[in-house]
Structure formats: C-alpha cells, structure tokens
Structure 1
Amino acid sequence: MKKQGGFTLIELVVVIVILGILAVTAAPRFLNLQSDARESSLQGLKGAMAGAGSIVYGKAAIEGKEREEVSGAYPTLDDLTEINFGYPAATKDGLVKVVQGLEDSNEWVYAEDTQGVASTPGTLVATFSGNASGAVAIKNTGCYVQYTEADSETSTPDISVTATDC
C-alpha cells in the first residue's frame, strides 16, 4: 500500500485557526491608522505654524519691527498682525490670523493660554474640533499642538506636538 504525504484536513483547519487568532491579536498593533493619521495632521499643523512664522518674521524685518516686544499691547505689522520679537503672537490676531484654516475651520479648535495656566504665558494650543475647548481641556486631550511665543530677540517660537492620546 502507498503511503500518502501531505496534510490532513484537521491539520489544515488547526493552522488556519491559529493564523486567524494571531491576525486578530496582532493586526491592531500594526494597523493603528487613525492614530497615525491624527498625529500626521498635528505635524502638518506644526509645519504650517512654523512656515507662517517665518513669513511673518520676514515681513517684520522688512518693516524694521523684528526686535519689538510686548509692552502693554502687542506690536503690529502694517496688516495689523500682532507680533512679538518679529514672530506671530500667540493670539487670534497673531498666529491664528496667519495660519490658513485655523480660524474659520471645522477641523481645528484653539485656545490662547495667556493666563499662564501651565506656567507658560504667551501660548496657544490647538487640537481637532470636537476634542475640547479651552486651553486646559485641550491639553488634557493628549492630542494637540502648542505654540509658545519667542521670549527674546535671539529666540524663536517653540512649536511642539503632543500625541500621546490621539
């Protein structure tokens, strides 16, 4: 009698079940697409803030206002953009005005943190609309971009992304 080689039907079913279990447990770790997409959007907003800041600084330098700092009220450019040391101020009439899509958008919400809620006056935080409103609430989401104004003539604004809970 000939001995047959190969797999039995039961062995094949067991292997398929084991592969299915591995796929169900491992797939979410490798396919965390929504979180990655949200983090990428935050990185894009960070880039838009940095680019807009550079353009505003160039305009401030042309107007000779790159060294002006806040003394009671924010200095402004000819187009009334508020600045601090030549870079956009962390206000509605500063950064929000120059970053396209931040002010009149259904995608983003922002809050000025000029009261020093997190001991960082001159700060603006932004996150996805629907996440939260208000500086403290936005920071509590763990998914936001934070813009902190330049604090001297030789410094630049600090723009950071927090994406721990996206």
Structure 2
Amino acid sequence: MCGFEKTKQRGFTLIELVVVIALLAILAAFAIPRYAGLEREARSASILGVSGSIRSGAALVHGLWLSQEINPVVMEGNVINLTQGYPDATDISATLADLTGFTVVVNGAGNQAVFSKIGLSNCEVVYNDALAGSAPIISVDTDGC
C-alpha cells in the first residue's frame, strides 16, 4: 500500500448547499405573495361574515315583529327598538353574538351603524335603518382589508 487511505466523504459539498439554498429562495419567492393574499382574503371573509350575520339578525327580528307586532322586541334578553319593523342602527349589534375584532360606531342621528375591522380603514359593514316599505340597507366595503 502506498500510504494513502481512502476516507469517506461526510456532509454536503459547497455546490450541493448552494443549489438547495437557491431552490428554497425560488420557492419562497412564490409562496410569500400567496400567504399575503390569504391574509387579505381572510379579513374580507370576516367582513362578509359580519354582513351575513347582520342580515340574518335583522331578518329574525323582522320575523318576530311580523308575528307579534310589538315594538320593541326582546331577543335573548336584549331589548331591540325597531324602525319599520327592522332593528334600529343603535340596536342592531344586539342581534350579533360576537363582535371580537370589530368596532361599532353609530352616527349622531342614530340611523347608521358602521362595523369596522379594528386597525383598518375601508374594511367595514354599514347598516342603515329601514325606510318606509323597504328593508335596511347593508353595504360592505372590503377595499382596505
């Protein structure tokens, strides 16, 4: 024997390490924008969920009013004043179970309630009192979500 011993290679070569890092960087470049988009979609879905809950609550109160013809109505211990058989803007939030993460602001006249996602502008649901012969107007703005 010549005095040279064969040693086993351990670990990765520098080229293999660079290739793996480059592949991870490429994957991250495609994945990060997707996750950012999912966050916006989740906030928008939250706003749409509140909008649906407001519509359902208003419909339940209206159905109760149609069957009993009383004003105000009491729902789950909450007294809800009505306008044209639908909840007032001042009382619409009483029809909702959970408003965690939202602020509710009722305008000075008491005919409009704005449900906003905390910390975001233009990410809101606006509830306007019912007018004679019509249901309340509920609009959704997800531009700032």
2:124 maps to 144
After superposition, the Cα gap between the structure-2 partners of 1:162 and 1:22, relative to the gap in structure 1 and judged at 3 Å, is farther
Offset from partner CA, 1:32-68 (integer Å, 9 cap, x none): 3211111111111111101111100011111225xxx
1:159, CA displacement in angstroms? 1.6
Deviations 1:63-120 (A, max 9, x none): 225xxxxxxxxxx3242311111111100xx201111123xxx4221100244xxxxx
Runs of 4+ in 1 over 3 A off after TM superposition: 19-29
Q: Is the 8 A contact 1:90 1:124 kept in 2?
A: yes
Specify which of 97, 105, 115 is matched with residue 126 of structure 1: 115
1:61 partnered with 2:71: no
Of 93, 97, 101, the residue aligned with 2:98 is 101
Alpha-carbon distance in structure 1 between the residues aligned to 2:86 and 2:144: 30
Q: Structure 1 counterpart of 2:107, which letter?
A: D
SS at match of 2:63: helix
Aligned equivalents of 2:128, 2:26: Cα separation in 1: 45
In the alignment, residue 48 of structure 2 is paired with which amino acid? Answer: Q
Q: Please, which of 114, 134, 138 is the counterpart of residue 159 of structure 1?
A: 138
Larger Rg: 2
Structure 2 unaligned blocks of 5 or more: 1-14
Take 2:61 and 2:52, find their aligned partners in 1: how far apart are those partners?
Answer: 14
Give the TM-score taking structure 1 as reference length.
0.63
C-alpha RMSD of matched pairs (Å): 2.7
Distance 1:82 1:90 in 2: 9
- The Cα shift of 1:31 comes to 2.6
Query: 2-side partners of 1:64 and 1:100: how far apart?
Result: 24
Q: TM-score, normalised by structure 2?
A: 0.71
Partner of 1:90: 89
Richer in strand (by share): 2
Aligned residues with identical type, % of pairs: 25
Unaligned segments of structure 1, at least 5 residues? 1-9, 66-75, 116-120, 132-139
1:53 and 1:88 in contact (8 A); partners too: yes
